[in-house]
């Protein structure tokens, strides 16, 4: 399968596409510029309807049930609402060269986002979760570049990418309690870096492979089922809009391809106060 260009604008590092079925909009970020875009899909093209800019980098943005946008900003969470931006307290440790990276809502509407090291450190980053009461908990440790997230159709398995050392982890997940079980390496990528991912309704993973110019459809046990080719090597993430896969890239625009299967429906963020660990 070959993806076709969906946008005319080029982005430094577009990431984290997510479809908001309530607002009928696509959200994505451009990490280095601190921008969050809202787009509308019309006649096979993507029109940017609104852009929000935060100071510093932004790792991910997800839609809320009230129409707001929750953002993993450089070192904490922020909410873009009708009356402006509300910034929460710092979440990442003080004095450490890290920033938030990719994030997504779990099947219960809690937001998870992980960090990455900016100075070459390895094995010191974490995956955080904004709990239903506003507290922030640590879901996983020992990471280097926390990246894409996804859940199986029944919500009982969480997939989580650590781009270095190139592993997609699979862990038992209880959507009701948030309890996470021991992780195992489900997929290892050696010809690029695994980045963002989405899961389809059949339980297969669509994994963006940075450096390979592909989004790969993989079974839960890592078998290659299909692949989407793009004209740029730095493919960062992918999201479903119906049976259309929308793909973000670095140094390029957004792309789209019909894949004949739908993704697991987007879970909207259930707004809570922006707390701290």
Q: For residue range 9-47, what is the model confidence (pLDDT) as tens digits? A: 999 999 999 999 999 999 999 999 999 999 999 877 899
Residue 32: strand, helix, or coil:
helix
Question: Residue 276's pLDDT band (boundaries 50, 70, 90)?
Answer: low
In a domain, 263, yes or no: no
**How confident is the model at residue 277, as a pLDDT?**
59
In a domain, 267, yes or no: no
183's CB contacts (< 8 A; 6+ apart) are: 140, 160, 169, 170, 171
**How confident is the model at residue 92, as a pLDDT?**
96
Q: Tell me if 205 sits within 8 A of 158, measured CB to CB.
A: no
Active site residues: 195
In a domain, 189, yes or no: yes
**How confident is the model at residue 132, as a pLDDT?**
86
The closest alpha carbon to 178, from 113, 112, 126, 114, belongs to 112
In a domain, 186, yes or no: yes
In a domain, 94, yes or no: yes
CA distance 220 to 204: 6
Q: Determine the structural domain holding residue 226 and report its residue range.
A: 4-258
**How confident is the model at residue 133, as a pLDDT?**
86
CA distance 129 to 149: 12
Count of structural domains, the chain: 1
Q: Which pLDDT tens digit goes with each residue over 39-85?
A: 999 877 899 999 999 999 999 999 999 999 999 999 999 999 988 99
In a domain, 126, yes or no: yes
In a domain, 270, yes or no: no
Q: First CA to last CA across the chain, in angstroms?
A: 43
The closest alpha carbon to 36, from 89, 79, 98, belongs to 79
In a domain, 275, yes or no: no
Q: Which pLDDT tens digit goes with each residue over 171-220?
A: 999 999 999 999 999 999 999 999 999 999 999 999 999 999 999 999 99
CA distance 97 to 134: 25
CATH number at residue 90: 2.120.10.30
Q: Which pLDDT tens digit goes with each residue over 69-128?
A: 999 999 999 999 988 999 999 999 999 999 999 999 999 999 999 999 999 899 999 999
């Amino acid at each position: 399968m070959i993806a076709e260009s969906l946008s005319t604008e080029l982005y430094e590092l577009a990431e984290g596409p997510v479809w908001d079925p309530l607002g009928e909009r696509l959200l994505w970020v451009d990490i280095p510029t601190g921008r969050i875009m809202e787009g509308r899909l019309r006649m096979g093209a993507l029109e940017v309807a609104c852009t929000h800019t935060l100071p510093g980098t932004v790792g991910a943005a997800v839609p809320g049930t009230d129409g707001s946008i929750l953002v993993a900003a450089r070192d904490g969470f922020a909410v873009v609402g009708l009356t402006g931006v509300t910034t929460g307290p710092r979440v990442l440790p003080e004095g450490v060269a890290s920033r938030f990276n990719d994030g997504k809502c779990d099947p219960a509407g809690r937001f998870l986002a992980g960090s990455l090291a900016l100075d070459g450190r390895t094995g010191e980053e974490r995956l955080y979760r904004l709990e239903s009461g506003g507290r922030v908990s640590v879901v996983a440790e020992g990471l280097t570049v926390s990246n894409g997230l996804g859940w199986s159709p029944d919500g009982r398995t969480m997939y989580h990418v650590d781009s270095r050392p190139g592993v997609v982890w699979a862990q038992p997940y209880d959507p009701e309690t948030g309890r996470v079980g021991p992780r195992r390496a489900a997929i290892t990528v050696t010809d690029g870096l695994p980045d963002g991912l989405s899961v389809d309704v059949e339980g297969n993973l669509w994994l963006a492979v940075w450096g390979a110019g592909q989004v790969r459809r993989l079974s839960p046990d890592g078998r290659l089922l299909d692949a989407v080719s793009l004209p740029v090597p730095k493919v960062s993430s992918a999201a479903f809009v119906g049976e259309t896969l929308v793909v973000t890239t670095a140094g390029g625009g957004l792309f789209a391809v019909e894949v004949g299967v739908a993704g697991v429906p987007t879970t909207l963020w259930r707004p809570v106060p922006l707390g701290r660990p």
